[in-house]
């Protein structure tokens, strides 16, 4: 028996969360799945009575025990409101996905932390969060929750943004590839989904060619070596595109491939926006700790922050490793 896909959905009742629920209808998700909708609220214990000097002094000197906070939160009205929010979202999702097994849960604490902790226990295939990142200078930041989940999750994450679409509009998907195991996983994920008829995929390989320095331009061996390296990279990307295209066409998707030059964070976002894409799929390699992620930066998080559409960052299940001939993904730095 094929194992059901497990989907963890963060929901807080905001417009962004509502848009994320709408987005799931165009995400190619299976008709049979197991979903958990989770709402998280932050609750603080009430302060001690100001008339009680002794209680106040003791409270200043000790931390509130986590167990006491948890017990208090269970009886809080805010916790009940969070549970009601999650159940409301679950009802809405049942209407759109009648074949899903649906559950709702509420938690108290930090939204991103609690979603990650729940994911570690429940082991979902995908976490879905809305995006609150809207700066006056453009989409340069993600909301703290979506950023936290995207950074620390061990599974795939979909930063979902709803779009206003006409009925029967084909789903449009951009996939960033470079031949690495991470990007192949992104292609495989798109292939495994159940897309509506006439859905379209644009597979894009982004080439960032080497450029000789001013002095290097006048040294023939240097210029020739760089030219040969750039030519080899382009040939490699052509092979990657052909392989990805063949795989996706087996799913009866309409596939177009292209090579563009520049920074993947900018190029993929611009391609998706110009085409009116519903989602960008990119691969990601999970590093061992948050410090590694911070130092190396995150191309996939950069795409998620800048994109006007949804972005799904696909994380591979851990294996015994790949071939020594595989190249590091340009899109897999988080």
Pair (157, 170) in one structural domain: no
Round to whole Å and give the CA distance between 286 and 117: 16
Please give the average per-residue pLDDT across 313-330, as a whole number.
Answer: 52
Selected residue with higher pLDDT from 237 and 296: 237
Domain that residue 179 falls in: 166-334
| pLDDT above 50 (res 4) | yes
Name the nearest CA neighbour of 183 among 274, 267, 299: 299
Total domains in the fold of the chain:
2
Name the nearest CA neighbour of 89 among 37, 163, 160: 37
In terms of Cβ atoms closer than 10 Å to its own Cβ (0-12, 13-18, 19+), residue 165 is middle
| pLDDT above 60 (res 34) | yes
Domain boundary among 142, 162, 182: 162
Pair (34, 71) in one structural domain: yes
| pLDDT above 70 (res 285) | no
Domain boundary among 112, 140, 162: 162
Q: Express each pLDDT in 61-79 by its tens digit.
A: 555 554 444 544 554 566 7
Pair (82, 193) in one structural domain: no
Pair (55, 38) in one structural domain: yes
Please give the average per-residue pLDDT across 233-261, as a whole number.
Answer: 90
| pLDDT above 70 (res 148) | yes
Q: Which two tokens stand for residue 30?
A: 């299976």
Name the nearest CA neighbour of 226 among 237, 211, 215, 214: 211
Residue 209: which pLDDT band, with cuts at 50, 70 and 90? low
Q: Express each pLDDT in 162-204 by its tens digit.
A: 766 666 788 999 999 988 888 999 999 999 999 998 999 999 9
pTM: 0.78
Domain boundary among 162, 187, 210: 162
Instruction: State the chain's mean pLDDT as an integer.
Output: 78
Pair (101, 17) in one structural domain: yes
Pair (9, 27) in one structural domain: yes
Is 292 within 8 Å of 152 (Cβ atoms)? no
Pair (74, 186) in one structural domain: no
Pair (45, 109) in one structural domain: yes
What is the dihedral angle through the alpha carbons of 110, 302, 24, 206, rounded to the nearest 10 degrees? -160
**How many other β-carbons are positioned within 10 Å of the β-carbon of residue 59?**
14
């Amino acid at each position: 028996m094929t194992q059901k896909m497990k989907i963890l959905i963060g929901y807080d009742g905001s417009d962004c969360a509502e848009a994320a629920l709408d987005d799931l209808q165009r995400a190619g998700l299976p008709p049979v799945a197991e979903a958990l909708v989770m709402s998280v609220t932050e609750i603080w214990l009430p302060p001690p009575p100001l008339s009680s000097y002794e209680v106040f002094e003791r409270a200043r000197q000790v931390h509130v025990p986590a167990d006491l906070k948890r017990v208090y939160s269970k009886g809080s009205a805010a916790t009940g409101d969070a549970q009601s929010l999650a159940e409301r979202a679950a009802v809405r999702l049942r209407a759109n996905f009648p074949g899903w097994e649906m559950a709702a849960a509420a938690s108290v604490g930090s939204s991103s932390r609690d979603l990650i902790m729940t994911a570690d226990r429940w082991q979902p295939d995908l976490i879905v969060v809305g995006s609150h990142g809207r700066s006056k200078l453009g989409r340069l930041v993600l909301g703290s929750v979506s950023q936290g989940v995207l950074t620390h999750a061990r599974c795939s994450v979909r930063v979902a943004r709803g779009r206003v679409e006409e009925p029967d509009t084909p789903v449009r998907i951009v996939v960033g590839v470079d031949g690495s195991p991470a990007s192949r996983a992104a292609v495989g994920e798109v292939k495994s989904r159940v897309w509506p008829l006439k859905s379209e995929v644009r597979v894009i390989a982004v080439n960032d060619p080497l450029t000789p320095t001013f002095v290097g331009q006048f040294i023939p061996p240097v210029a020739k070596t760089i030219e040969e390296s750039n030519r080899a990279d382009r040939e490699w990307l052509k092979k990657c595109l052909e392989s990805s295209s063949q795989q996706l066409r087996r799913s009866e998707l309409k596939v177009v491939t292209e090579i563009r030059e520049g920074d993947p964070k900018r190029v993929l976002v611009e391609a998706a926006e110009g085409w009116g894409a519903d989602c960008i799929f990119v691969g990601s390699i999970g590093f061992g700790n948050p410090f590694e992620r911070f130092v190396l930066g995150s191309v996939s998080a950069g795409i998620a922050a800048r994109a006007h559409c949804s972005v799904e960052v696909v994380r591979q299940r851990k294996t015994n490793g790949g071939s020594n001939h595989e190249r590091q993904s340009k899109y897999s730095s988080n």
